[in-house]
Every structure is written in C-alpha cells, then in structure tokens.
Structure 1
C-alpha cells in the first residue's frame, strides 16, 4: 500500500521522519530548511510518498519534486534525499497550546503516529520540532 501525501514537508532526523503539516504559508518549507541546517535530511517538500512496510510507515521522496526544496524569495534548491520510518507529525498552527498535557495522534495509512502542534512564528521552531521528535516520536 502506497500513497502520496500532498502539501506537506518531510525531513529525517537521526533516521526518523518528521511529517510537517500546516496551512499554506505557515512555514513548512522554512522549517524543513532549518532542520536541514541542523543535520536533517530532506525526504520531500510539498509532498511525500508513504508506504507501509510491515508495522512501519515509510516516508520516501515524491517523484514529482524529488530532491527539491523551496527557499522562499530565492527559488528551488537541489539537495540529496533519503527515506525513513515516520516517527511524528508536526502540525504548524497558530492555535498550538503553550503547555500541552501530552500529544495527539494522527492516522497515517491506518497507523497511529504521535502528532504535536507547534506555533510556527518563532526562531526556536526547529529546536521545538527536534524536542518533539525526541520526547514523543516513535523509536
């Protein structure tokens, strides 16, 4: 079973994929670019291919934009890509709770995946995304 999820970005950190969701203009590509600067590897920008392998959901580059990431006001940057098991969904939203009591769950290909809402407009966003991966992401 395989599916292309549009309008998301996806970055691997330490072998685990973070699927980044949010409304247009919330900074999905900008967060992905900042995570690349912190040692992450691009899986997909503006889409990701998801497939089930045993108990895992694997994120792979989408064929139509493989190896490209949008750098707003600059253009498309070519970068190497990778694939990795999905560990967490990061939702960029202005409604993110300041001190949540846990995390939500998203269903991807029928599998539950931890989901954390983050406020998008902060310079600490890549640090928060990494902390969410470490605290709540699947191993």
Structure 2
C-alpha cells in the first residue's frame, strides 16, 4: 500500500485522484465535484493499492468520510464511499507558477503501484475546472476521445 498527499472523489466508482501542494485547491475542487454528484473517497491523504490490475483508492480509517473546508473546518456528513478505482489523476497547477498547462498537451500517464494512470494538469480555481475534470474522466474511461 502507498499513501499520497492527495484527495480522491468518485463518480459511480470511477475515481479521480486530485494532487497538489497545500493550498492549491484540492479540497475546494473536490467539494465542487461532490456538489455535482461525486462522492468523497478521501481528503488530504489517500491510500492506494493495486488489485487485479486496477489502482484502488481509500481513505485512512481516521479520516474516512471527513473533508476540511477552508474557512469552515472539518466537516462530516458529506456523501462519501469507502473506495474507488482510480481512472485519472488531476495534477493541480497554481496560476502564475512555472508549471504551464499546454493548450494541446500530449497524453500523459504515470505509474502508481504498477498501474498506468492518465494525468491532466488542471487549475483548480478556474470556473471550468469541474467541467474539465468530468470531460477528462470521460476520456479516461473511453466515453469520449481526444482527436490528435
């Protein structure tokens, strides 16, 4: 098992790993996705394990079902699930950082626990960030495709 400093949310069991530095918008973006119908898997720390060729995420027991909302505190009662199969990674890029989001990026992926997962760079604070995440998930799961 591997533990990452990342959030995870899922739409119908299809997980999105949201990574970024502290204050980069992980919980904010996760909350906006939850309000669109996603379920929280984990906030701030995510446990990962490979199972039958899939990467499965869960929350450490002590924080399962909890999310920290900046300005409010740690909240319980948010729609959550125990685990999800990771289908994509959203790497959060802060505005003005040296990490640039390409207009037409090459498809990227990363190996985690021996499983290859597609990765997209996202600015969490753009109004369209939740839309971009849902479209990237549709691409990652084969429901949509990118024309090269």
Please say whether Structure 1 and Structure 2 have the same fold, judged by a TM-score greater than 0.5. yes
Contact (CA 8 Å) 2:29, 2:125: kept in 1 or not?
A: no
CA deviation vs aligned residue, 1:111-137 (integer Å, no higher than 9, x gap): 110000012221111111111111234
1:33 equivalent in structure 2? 31
1:60 aligns with 2:58: yes
Runs (4+) off by over 4 Å: none
Match in the other structure for 1:121: 125
Q: Distance in 2 between matches of 1:96 and 1:21?
A: 16
Larger Cα-atom Rg: 2
Report if the CA contact (8 A) 1:9-1:44 is conserved. yes
Structure 1: tracts of 5 or more residues without a match: none
CA separation of 1:44 and 1:138: change in aligned 2, threshold 3 A: farther
1:100, CA displacement in angstroms?
Answer: 2.4
**In the alignment, does 2:21 pair up with 1:23?**
yes
Where in structure 2 are the equivalents of 1:42-121 lying within 5 Å?
Answer: 42-78=40-76, 79-82=78-81, 83-94=83-94, 95-121=99-125
TM-score of the superposition, structure 1-length normalised?
0.90
Deviation digits for residues 48-74 of structure 1 (CA, Å, limit 9, x no counterpart): 111111111111122221111011101
Correspondence for 2:2: 3
Mean CA deviation greater in 18-27 or 92-101: 92-101
Root-mean-square deviation (Å): 1.7
Give 1:24 deviation, angstroms.
1.1
TM-score (norm. length: structure 2): 0.85
Residues 79-123 of structure 1 show CA distances to partners (whole Å, capped at 9, x for unaligned) of: 242111110000001334242233211111021100000122211
SS of the residue corresponding to residue 64 of structure 2 reads coil
Q: In structure 2, what is the Cα distance between the partners aligned to 1:44 and 1:88?
A: 15
